[in-house]
Every structure is written in structure tokens, then in C-alpha cells.
Amino acid sequence: MRETRLTPHDFILPLFVSEKLQERREIQSMPGVYQLSLNDAVEEARQACALGLQAVLLFGIPAHKDEEASGAFAVEGIVQQAVRAIKAACPELVVITDVCLCEYMSHGHCGVTRRDGEHFHVLNDESVALLAKTAVSHAAAGADLVAPSDMMDGRIGAIREQLDAHGFEQTGIMSYAVKFASVFYGPFREAAESPPQFGDRRSYQMDAANAEEALREAELDVQEGADILMVKPALPYLDILWRVRDRFGKPTAVYHVSGEFAMVKAGAEKGYVEERAAVLEIMTSLKRAGADLIVTYWAKELAQWTRE
Ligand code: PBG
């Protein structure tokens, strides 16, 4: 009678690769999740593959940040190195790269910014040009899919055009089509060392109150050439996930984000909820609500739990 079944193929494992580390370092607010050295990242990818996971999602933490995000598109950038090393070690594993500038910008915003006194602006088109350049550099390193998470307007079209122009017609785009400005990204900003140094992300991420706008955002990404649409965060936005899956019929992903992870971990540590049962219930509800793919920090555990 059971309508929804979880399998290891449903999950994508995020990995944080740091250019600064020689050995792994646990993220305080995310027990069991680490910033990894290049070698550790390859080891994690190997394990993911052995456990039956299909895909990893890479985030880079560069040694140097600047106001042009030059580390984001450097040939020897940390993500580019990690993609090459992981594809060499596990050719059958799908490698997806996060395309964003926040980790590489000294100010921590997802795009190029201009400050006038008290106010700052994110410059959309200048940012899109750098994002497209970043996506091409990831594809050149061997990424199977690029995943733009910045929320600038027009970036999917620009990335598709630049990928094609450089001969990467086969590289897919998993778009963070609907990304809400959320309190639940807090722990990630520690993990990726990317908190904004001034202002917040509300001028480019979405208002939690807006569902119609979410559908308009997703529609633009479909028109511009997204292969997979993503909704983020997960549990507070099940209605959006359902509507996006239902309306566009595209492969749809959901990102169960760092704050959602941290809450369950904290509850489990206090003995208030049982971790495994809670995680399986959450993941089942995400799949039931339309997710074809789930990005989760529990991907490795789930690969085991869903087999047992
Ligand atoms: C931005 C980005 C963020 C996340 C993924 N990509 C953070 C943000 O927008 O502040 C959050 C993921 C999570 O919280 O697990 N590059």
C-alpha cells in the first residue's frame, strides 16, 4: 500500500572543500558535517559512491577572498581541483558544483556590490557575467551539472549560452529556481565561511510570503534552460515544492538546508526526537510532496537506512 519509497538514488550529498585545510574540521553547529581538505573530499566521494549515492554537490572555501571573486573561476580554484580529482577517482559519480560568489567575495554577498554611504546594491548584470564564467570553469574541470544558487536575474540563460559557446552543451543546469531568504541558512554560512559582512540577502533572495512569485521565478528558469528546478529550504516550503513539480513537470530537487539539519540534530542530542525516525519521516514527506532529488547532509546515512 505504501506510495512513497526512499532509495539511495534520491539523495545528493553536499561537500565543503577547503583550500586552507590539511585535515577535516567539524562544523560546530552541524555535528558530523565537516569542512574537508581536497584529499578528504575525494575520500568522501568514494564512500558516497560505494554506498550507492549518485551525486555530490561541491562547495568551495578559497584561501583568499577579494572583491572580484577571482577564486570562483580560477583554473586552479579549489572547486575546479576537487572536480578533477573526484571525477578521476569515481568517474560514475555525478559531480554537481554550486555556482555562487559569496564564498569568494570579501564582503560575502552572492554578487558584485556597490556601496553608496549607508546603502549597498548588488549589481545584477556584472554578477551574472562572473557567474557564467564560473560555470564554464566548472564544466571545463569536468562537472556534470552546475547549480547556480545566487538568485541573480537572467543567470540561467547566460550560463546556458556561455556553456554552449565553450562546447559544454552536455553540461546540465540544476537551478536554485526558488530560493527564499531564510533564517535556516545560518549554519551553512559558518560551514562555507560566507556570512555577508554588511546588509542581508533580501534584495536577491525571495520573500517567504510569496508563492506566486516563486512560480514566476521557476517559469523564467524553465524558459532560460534549466534542466532541474530546485526549491530551498525544504520543510517550510512543501507547498511551493508541490506546485513547482505539478506546474512544470520538470525534474525537481529540494534542498533540506543546514538550519533544518541542525534543529533535528540538536533535538536528537537532547533526547527530544529520535534522529533516524525523524529523518526518514522528513525525507518521505519531501518525496511525497514532489521531490525527485533531495540534497541533504544525511545522504550517507540515508543510503544505509533506506536499504535496511
Ligand atoms: C549560497 C548558498 C547558501 C546555501 C547554499 N548556497 C547560503 C545562502 O544563501 O546564504 C545554503 C545551504 C544550507 O543552508 O544548507 N551560495
Whole-angstrom distance, CA of residue 121 vs CA of residue 256: 29
CA 179 to ligand 1: nearest atom: 9
Nearest CA to ligand 1 atom 6: 149
Cβ of residue 262 lying under 6 Å from some atom of ligand 1: no
Whether the CB-CB separation of 115 and 74 falls below 8 Å is answered with: no
Average per-residue pLDDT in the chain?
A: 95
The distance in angstroms from the start CA to the end CA of the chain is: 19
Whether the CB-CB separation of 89 and 142 falls below 8 Å is answered with: no
- Taking only the tens place, the pLDDT of each residue in 130-147 is 999 999 999 999 999 999
Tell me the CA–centroid distance for residue 246 and ligand 1, in Å.
25
Write down the H helix ranges in 111-257.
124-141, 155-165, 186-191, 212-224, 238-248
Rounded to an integer, the average pLDDT of 262-275 is 98
Per-residue pLDDT band at 117 (split at 50, 70, 90): confident
How many C-beta atoms lie closer than 10 Å to residue 228's C-beta?
Answer: 20
Cβ of residue 34 lying under 6 Å from some atom of ligand 1: no
Whole-angstrom distance, CA of residue 49 vs CA of residue 42: 11
Ligand 1 pocket test: pick from 104, 188, 205, 206 the residue with the most ligand atoms within 8 Å of its Cβ: 188
Cβ of residue 257 lying under 6 Å from some atom of ligand 1: yes
Catalytic residue among 65, 87, 232, 265: 232
- Taking only the tens place, the pLDDT of each residue in 187-241 is 998 888 888 888 888 888 899 999 999 999 999 999 999 999 999 999 999 999 9
Q: What per-residue confidence (pLDDT) applies to 198?
A: 80
- Taking only the tens place, the pLDDT of each residue in 50-76 is 999 999 999 999 999 999 999 999 999
Cβ of residue 182 lying under 6 Å from some atom of ligand 1: no
- Domains in the chain (CATH in brackets) are 8-305 (3.20.20.70)
